[in-house]
Structure 1
């Protein structure tokens, strides 16, 4: 997905969201419309100017429904990205590619979910039959957490990482959520004792190693860099973008390969940095996909912030906190703000580079945003505009 033609050619100029809760009364389409209209209002752009859309294949609200309800103009570009959390950044990357290549001028990406009050997708066994899950569900890998638990145990065994390292991830996200009034875990502190004595969800992953179950929706608006200067808010430039599906990883977690601990983040990172003028050392703040705490050390390694097997140790001494080596998930992330397939990580990255985050990193001008690790993934490198 990354290409020289994308570099700084487009910008995010509007973001919007609904409330986040375990249960919201509106349906997913209504939530999607609210988020999209809020993002367009934030940008100062009329709905009729929108000519490009990008969303997830798992999105229940389709282009026609959204276009009719919100009042879009003629759409000349629309596409969908697979793999749930792995597709978050790719929705924005698709819009950037469309606009940079002249196929569209105003793009909207969104995600709407009723995961908190809705059914869990893995309970639909009929839908699992045509997927690779048919080979794993009968043997106890029933949920994503069970698959990631196996990956986590291997990581802890091979590299000597500990549950304290996982706690460091959970704590950093919760501390930032405690500063964010929109977060589901706002004003709900987490202690080490709470973490260590919480119930197992799938050992070695406990309650606080798992993302939230959330109802809510978010959206963002992308335009060309020239037009971005005339929008209401400070533009956030899309400096680089990448997707990654390495040869030996094809599903949620593929254990039958040479190295399960080198996942899709490595492939996406190579492409991302290749087309960027920046390096990991230049990143001021990061929004790392955190459906499970264990994915963060793997991503830190994959994107080059530390060496192989060093992701756990990287979290020590407050490295992920404000003022640390790499302030992380400053809105609370999927663990403590809301789990909406990672889209809140994108909007939080925009807030950081606008200077409007509830846990603002002083002087932040660059932000890495990543999508799910362990699945075909994507990433964005954002830069503050003028």
Structure 2
């Protein structure tokens, strides 16, 4: 049982932009230093580093740049955005096993000014042979197939997808750190945005961003003595579903579902002792709007096909039944592979968020879906 033995003690980030003007290594070191400063720690206190397999910055390069010295734990997690919460889980495992005392998780990318994930790309892996020859070579095209099936199976509409974006942009509009600060949208503007791959419009797709985020994980006992109130890691889980592919799991009996998130959800509720009814706010990985609806269903906030009713009338906005992504999410704040969502969850637990959700319940965080994924539940000490 790993829950409640570790905590996130520090968070740090660069600005979020479309052209950072500096290397990804520079971004990583800036974010890591900011996270350590937030925790009141020095680089020499760090004994472990965890990042994504997609991160271009070697752990030893980050350590050298910051003068960290000896490290006793190094790890990376695959599957793109599905790694976001799993990197924290890796840090928790290292801390609870006594392999490292202070572990920093980081992600840095120039995803707008450098390699743009939304562009078609060739991949050498075996799974690509099932979809690239059919023209499915971008994440948007891959997700559109699932989204179309969801609309067919449950009678939802593209307006239901649009309401997710409207909520995210409304939250981002009051967040000065968000790229879309001061720029909310209406449902009509969503309807008018161009098609990317039907039924996905431009405003159904997350941003392409430059930036970095870092998190400091240590034991709860040590975190209590540091500079900031700890965000207790009440649960941390990773999961993959049967017949899992990367963004293209079309060979399951139920195409319009995210069973990998169900695997994660059962672990989160079991580890933490919480249920969906206890959650104060949810930070859901919003790379594409249909997957927000499906996550709400897999996590147990509503029945299968019923998410459109939950979000109707501002249900996921501030003051609604379940505020989702009060920072604006990846649709409104920035796309840093979900790591900025974890930082927002920490702020919500600390009570320092720009759009603070009242109450003392836990905060749920999820990672990228359509791939093996992960999740966290954070709570106050």
TM-score if structure 2 supplies the norm length?
Answer: 0.97
CA–CA separation in structure 2 for the residues paired with 1:163 and 1:318: 16
Aligned structure 1 segments of 4 or more residues deviating by more than 4 angstroms: 121-126
2:71 is the alignment partner of 1:75:
yes
1:304-338 deviations in Å (ceiling 9; x for gaps): 11111112221112110111111111111110100
Does the CA contact (< 8 Å) of 1:122 and 1:142 recur in 2? no
User: Whole-Å Cα distance in 2 between the matches of residues 248 and 305 of structure 1?
Assistant: 25
Range with bigger deviation, 249-258 or 287-296: 249-258
2:154 to 148, 156, 159: 159
Of 263, 278, 300, 2:274 maps to 278
Secondary structure in structure 1 of the residue aligned to 2:289? coil
Equivalent residue for 1:321, pick from 313, 317, 322: 317
Q: Match for residue 240 of structure 1?
A: 235
- Partner residue, 1:147: 142
For the pair 1:259 / 2:254, whether they are aligned, the reply is yes
Q: Select which of 15, 18, 26 maps to 1:30.
A: 26
TM-score normalised according to structure 1 size: 0.96
2:196 — aligned with what? 201
Alignment of 1:227-376 (within 5 A): 227-263=222-258, 264-376=260-372
1:158–1:60 Cα change, 3 Å: same
Tell me the secondary structure at the aligned position of residue 4 of structure 2: coil
Deviations 1:9-57 (A, max 9, x none): 0110100000101111011000000000000000001110100111100
Q: Is the 8 A contact 2:147 2:256 kept in 1?
A: no
Paired residues of 1:298 and 1:373 also in contact (CA < 8 A): no
Gaps of 5+ in 1: none
Please tell me whether the aligned partners of residues 278 and 361 of structure 2 are also in contact (alpha carbons under 8 angstroms): no
Give the Cα separation in 2 of the matches to 1:50 and 1:26: 25
CA distance in 2, matches of 1:364, 1:74: 39
Deviation at 1:240, TM superposition (A): 0.4
Q: 1:104 aligns with which of 97, 100, 103?
A: 100
Report if aligned partners of 2:342, 2:365 keep a CA contact under 8 Å in 1.
yes
How far did residue 363 of structure 1 move? 2.3
What's the CA shift for 1:134?
A: 2.9
Q: Is the 8 A contact 1:52 1:76 kept in 2?
A: yes
SS in 2 for 1:32: helix
How far has the Cα of 1:262 moved from its partner? 2.9
1:43 aligned residue: 39
Match of 1:118? Answer: 114
Change (3 A) 1:331 1:139: same
Q: How many residues align?
A: 380
Native 8 Å contact 1:285 1:364 kept in 2: no
Deviation of 1:120 after TM superposition, in Å, equals 2.8
Distance 1:369 1:121 in 2: 22
Q: Are the counterparts in 1 of residues 127 and 245 from structure 2 also a CA contact under 8 Å?
A: no
How many angstroms apart in 2 are the aligned matches of 1:295 and 1:119? 23
Q: Is the 8 A contact 2:116 2:208 kept in 1?
A: no
Structure 2: segments with no counterpart, 5+ residues: none
What secondary structure does 1:275 align onto?
helix
- Helix, strand or coil at the partner of 1:194: helix
SS for the counterpart of 1:368 is strand
- The equivalent of 1:133 in structure 2 is 128
How far off its partner does 1:122 sit? 6.8
SS of the residue 2:272 aligns to: coil
State the match for 2:174 in structure 1.
179
Q: Quick check: 2:121–2:138 contact (8 Å CA) kept in 1?
A: no
Q: Secondary structure at the match of 1:149?
A: helix
